[in-house]
Structure 1
Amino acid sequence: MADIDPISLHDPLEEQFKAEFEDRLEAAIARPDTENTVRPFLFEKTISFAVIDSAGTIIWTDRKFDDWLRQDDIDIEIGAAVSKKREAAHALIKDRSQRPALLTYASADLAQRWFVLEPKLSTHVRTSDTIVVAAVSLSHMTDEIEYAARALGMSNLEARVSAALFAQGSIKRAAAQAGVTYHTARKALSGAMKSVGVSRQTSLMRRLSELATVSAPPRAAVENILIDVFDLTRRDAKLVHLLCEGYSRSEAAKVAGMSAAIAKDRFAHIFLRLDIASATDLPPLVMGAFASAMLLQETPALIETGRRARAPLRLIRSTDNRVIAVNDYGPETGQPVLIAHSSLSTRHAFQTVVDCLQQNGYRPFSIDRPGFGLTDDLEELPDRFATGTDDVVTVCDKFGFEKIHAITRGGAFHVLALARSAPERLDRVLVINPDLLQHDCSQRKGYLGMVRYAFDRYPDSIEKVARWIASTMSRKRIATIIRVGIGDAPADLESFADARNFDDYLRSIMPFSTGRLSGFIREQKGYVLQKEIEGLESAHNWTVLLGNSDPIHDIEEIRSYWTAKLPGARWHVFQDAGRYISLSHTEKVVALLNQSASQTE
């Protein structure tokens, strides 16, 4: 997949999107509510492409296609039908290693939406009767599954065997791949299920696949896809999903309202139809079918994940048994610093900031707030920004942090709520370009200004607009969002000319594309609907940093509002900075964090 320069990009479609953004936003507000589409993250190594003509002759394949499949795996009759009817079709096959793979055949017009996933397709799809075949095989996701397993607290052995079971489908084959005995593999899987809190291997595979793809598709959506992709009946699709949820065959039959005898016959038919030997094969197969179906959506952007850094993810259980996602960057001996994400991002921090903090003796960590990223949602509080402050305390207790520092850009209201509810936990706090509630702004410029103004006028449309924006996300689109969001601030332009910063931003914002938007929606409602937020009696340990070229707010309005909320706070204005001061002036920002709280400007 070709890299994209995020700042110097001049794409006609993106230029048109920028020019028409306000009209598109109004259209999104006016259109009827649509069903929420959950889209999974995939990885480049899980998808490959081939191009054939209407006679079934192969025109081009990528390297992965040749490695996974044989030429005769392509069905000439399906290709001819797709070419004639100008539509798409799915087929389930076994790859060279006898693992399930899903082929999606698409006519030339439908295949054009895949060009962003594989630019080389555009040079080979030249005539209207050309067919593109996309092969999806999740058995190549073992690294991601093992990563998710370790985040759940599994031992190295448990994680390795769990990932091998996901790839191989049977304990015997998983043991061979993991290089252990059958007995050792069974024992490791027993420990893995205990770590996750499930009693069946199928449930374990489902949980790991959802974590690795950042998606938990609802039952109705999965059943519809199983019917479409595998031509199952509604009843059989329901049985498949019940098995994936961890029900035994007898329990699934009872929930589905059928006798044991009928269910036995239906299960035999399902396993024969899907060409699998056990229910353990179902979660990766179902998620693969889901991903294949999503390829045909208008914006199949979730496949193009780009370079993904392996952040040190930990998944912690809250007191009410919710999952809290934490990136703990280490080292263990450093002073803990919470990097609180903005309302427009998730826990993935800029590595530039992380590196500088570590070099100065800190241990940065970041937490997905409820409804963001991989953290389970919970009921919102009257102060919407306070939702999740208890999670911070839970994480601190888990890690043994008595006190933490905090640094944030865009999450100031959340840190303020934390300071009110758990003041004994916070030492020094650094806030960069804190935001304002909508009714406290005399103006809000740029792309974000348009969105917040629309939210202010039509608060009931916040969720609808959020889902529209998320559905348009792609690597190029996010480059456009950054470009229009930072305006002409030279320092920010230079920061995002660095591909590493762009990739970090991409990593932080793309989870919204999976449909996990409840946290974002809640906080956007907070900006628009909340009339007042309580300040502090004393903020002597706070420092507020402002960029003189902030493209969104008037910095004097920021100073006036937050001076009242944070009496005694220090202030520092960077004359040559924009919105992303932590990127353009990283060392100076960390130096300010180092200063004693007793110092004044």
Structure 2
Amino acid sequence: MFNDPCNEGLLQGYSQRSMRAPSLRLSELLRASASKSAPIELLLDSWSQVEDAVLADTGHARDDLAAASSALPPIAGAISDRRALATAVMTVAGQVCFADAAYRELFPDVADLRPLLKRARREGPLVSLVEGVAAAAFTAWIGDAEAAARWPLDPEAKAALAAGPDRLVVVVGAPSRSSELARRAARVLDLTALEARLAEALMFAPNLEVAAADAGVGRETARDALRRINAKAGVRRTPELIGRLIGVMCVAQANGEDDAALAETAFGLTPAEARVGAQIARGLTAPETAQALGLSPETVKTHMKAVLHKTGAKGAKDFARLLGEARELVAVASASESVFGEEEGGGRLRVIASLDGARRIALIDYGPYDAQPVLVFHGAAAGRRLPDGLRQALIGAGLRPIVVQRPGFGLTDPAGGDYTATAAADMAAVVERLRLRKVHLLARDTGTPSALAFAQDYPDLLDRMVLMNPHPPMHLEDQRTTFVASVQRHLLRNPDLVVAFAEFLRRQATTRLLERILFKALEAEADLRALEDPAVRQFLIRDIQAMCARSVYGFAAEHAVYANDWRPTPTAARHAGWVVAQSTGLTGHVEPSWIGVRDLRIVEIPDAGVLPQFTHPAHLAALFA
């Protein structure tokens, strides 16, 4: 996962070691805590011992964290939409005891799943292909009551499952069959009504001509529309477009890095066939795939023919649909905790292409479209959605809040080179794609370098800047003694730990553990009072899970900026009238002259901590008055 070129440079920096010699290595501490429900409990309960182990031997600590992560589920909490799944309860003999409406639509005639049911009963949960309506292939997860215990099944399904000892749950991933999800994908990609009809028709049509007829347009009109759709989605070819549409339809948003392994295990392909199929599904042509894999074009065609035969897919486009649906189903099935339902917070999710078309950028636009836009930064792990109080306060102040997910966070692709330059270019792309003129900026925490890079590289696009609790460069770092400050110091001083540590946390981000972390991490009384509200806790927890479900690229890259001795550039001094907002409930603020801006105004937010978006929304909106 972390051999990606996007991570080059993340591990540069220096390590600081202490002369203290711990009695145990981190691996030994982790083994000693094996009786606990999760390895992360060690960090929460015995941080001083972990700190000693890390200081004494950073290299081994990194390896120990990576080894501990490999034994954990790939996703801690997966948020899924019920409309993407179809569910049934069956006996081992294939008798259907319960089937929801989506399953009955996919399988109007009873599918013979007896071989798979018997295998799942004998070997445990499995993922495999099943044939549904119109001979279309779909991916199904099959498991017994114990394995299905974490699925939030309907009461009727639970009752059917509990009524007999030989019953199993069948969950089929089929977001492509939901017109509601197709319409959501169209809104996310800003497709017109015609483009949306064509995109939905392309899901199962054998070619563009048939899709054009299904959408009620002519062939040339469809070709022009497809070019526009591809440009908006940031893709080159139809198979890649189908994969992008499936990903947008689903909330789990798996990253697709293990597509070849998934195709091999779930579809029964050989390793060579799986590698070829994964490349074709990403939008590569046969010659491009041959070059990428070191094969001849004839071998690629032979392997792809076998892929289509074994999976029942009706072409490269249909295989991309099948692989995308399998990816999302496995992401939910592999999670420690599955949550179904719509996310709160409103706003319109958009996924746009970068200016060069090479990357995708995600944002949530809260409107109204005729108001002054303000780009609102999320934090290092949460903040991709705005609480209703802050949304209303900003809109009431005449603003149009837009939360842009920085490179590697949420659904935004990682940066391939300079992180802050890429983040700044992403914001410039948002300004152009959304046809804005100038924007305000509300940045926070470790997002400060990206905000200052935008001010430096695109000064004509920036109107007013507010930096909320900006994290200073390392040479000015404060010496706070809180748990979070201590952990962050170790990450910044030992950048080779960042990826391993972040992945270690990401794979354990279940609701229960995140609640513990939040109460331990927050120090301000206002924050702790806010956490007492179950709605606030759930909002934060779901936000963290969605932000970190795909990868830790953003978190790691942003911390590496600091670890590699980032300092603001003097060119940012051309801006005047900037505001630094400081929460008085947090200790250890560094005097903000390091930002290098003249006439910098400092505003204190009384009694606030790291959650002013919940506790002080009116104060934040007033900063732009």
User: How would you bin the TM-score normalised by the shorter chain?
Assistant: 0.7 to 0.9
Distance 1:19 1:398, change over 3 A: closer
> Residue 522 of structure 1 is aligned with which of 557, 566, 572?
557
Q: Establish whether residue 100 from structure 1 lines up as the match of residue 100 from structure 2.
A: no
* One-letter amino acid matched to 2:589: I
Secondary structure, counterpart of 1:291 in structure 2:
helix
SS at match of 2:604: strand
TM superposition shift of 1:591: 2.3
Partner of 1:155: 192
Q: Is the 8 A contact 1:350 1:504 kept in 2?
A: no
Q: 1:327 to 1:75 in 2, by over 3 A?
A: closer
Aligned-residue offset at 1:285: 0.2
Which residue of structure 2 lines up, in the alignment, with residue 115 of structure 1? Answer: 151
Instruction: Tell me: CA distance 1:59–1:549, structure 2 relative to 1, closer, same or farther (3 Å).
Output: farther
Give the 5 Å matches for 1:41-190. 42-62=80-100, 64-69=102-107, 72-73=110-111, 75-85=113-123, 87-96=124-133, 98-112=135-149, 114-115=150-151, 124=161, 130-152=167-189, 154-166=191-203, 171=208, 174=211, 178=215, 185=222, 188-190=225-227
- 1:30 is aligned, of 58, 64, 70, to 64
Counterparts of 1:497-536 in structure 2 under 5 Å? 497=533, 499=535, 502-503=538-539, 506-507=542-543, 510-515=546-551, 517-530=552-565, 532-533=567-568
Distance 2:349 2:74 in 1: 25
Alignment partner, residue 610 of structure 2? 579
CA 1:406–1:347 in structure 2 vs 1: closer, same or farther (change >3 Å)?
Answer: same
Residue 217 of structure 1 is matched in structure 2 by: 256
Residues 57 and 454 of structure 1: is their aligned pair in 2 closer, same or farther, counting only changes over 3 Å?
farther
Range 317-326 or range 335-344, more displaced: 317-326
- Does the aligned pair in 2 maintain the 1:539–1:568 contact within 8 Å? no
1:288 lines up with 2:325 in the alignment:
yes
Q: CA–CA distance in 2 between the matches of 1:249 and 1:421?
A: 39
Amino acid at match of 2:559: Q
Indicate which of 568, 571, 578 corresponds to 2:599.
568
What is the Cα deviation at residue 247 of structure 1? 4.2
TM-aligned CA deviation for residue 231 of structure 1:
1.1
SS at match of 2:110: helix
What is the correspondence of 1:238-317 to structure 2 with a 5 Å cutoff? 238-248=275-285, 257=295, 260=298, 267-297=304-334, 299=336, 301=338, 306=343, 309=346, 311-317=348-354
Alignment of structure 1 residues 301-450 onto 2, 5 Å: 301=338, 306=343, 309=346, 311-319=348-356, 321-345=358-382, 347-381=384-418, 385=420, 387-397=422-432, 399=434, 401-410=436-445, 411-437=447-473, 440-446=477-483, 448-449=484-485
- Cα gap change, 1:431 to 1:75, in 2 (>3 Å): same
Summarize the Cα distance change of 1:387–1:14 in structure 2 as closer, same or farther, 3 Å threshold.
farther
Superposed CA offset, 1:394-414 (max 9, x none): 443555655432223323343
Alpha carbons 1:343, 1:520 under 8 Å: kept: yes
Aligned length: 568
**Alpha-carbon separation, structure 1, partners of 2:237 and 2:450:** 38
Secondary structure, aligned partner of 2:367:
coil
After superposition, the C-alpha distances for 1:38-97 in whole angstroms (9 at most, x for unaligned) are 779742211243344445455555554345435832523332332233x23333223346
SS at match of 2:440: strand
Q: Find the aligned partners of 2:80 and 2:224 in 1 and give their Cα distance.
A: 30
CA contact (8 A) 1:205 1:283 kept: yes
Work out the CA distance in 1 between the residues paired with 2:297 and 2:426: 45
Instruction: State the distance in 2 between where 1:308 and 1:187 align.
Output: 36
Counterparts of 1:356 and 1:406 in 2: how far apart (Å)? 16
Instruction: Using the TM superposition, name which of 119-128 and 541-550 deviates more.
Output: 119-128
User: Helix, strand or coil for the counterpart of 1:427?
Assistant: strand
The structure with higher relative contact order (CA 8 Å, sep 6+) is: 2
Mapping of residues 216-235 of structure 1, within 5 Å:
216-218=255-257, 221-235=258-272
Residue type at the aligned position of 1:560? E
Contact 1:339/1:407 (8 A) holds in 2: yes
Q: Indicate the residue corresponding to 1:544 in structure 2.
A: 580
The DSSP-based 3-state class of the residue aligned with 2:379 is: coil
Distance 1:216 1:567, change over 3 A: same
- Cα 1:231–1:148 shift into 2, 3 Å: same
Determine whether 1:237 maps to 2:271: no
Q: Percent identity?
A: 21
- Residue in 2 aligned with 1:4? none
Aligned-partner Cα distance in 1 for 2:278–2:140: 21
> 1:10 aligns to what?
none
Deviation string 1:471-498 (CA, Å, 9 cap, x unpaired) is 2234555455444443563466437737
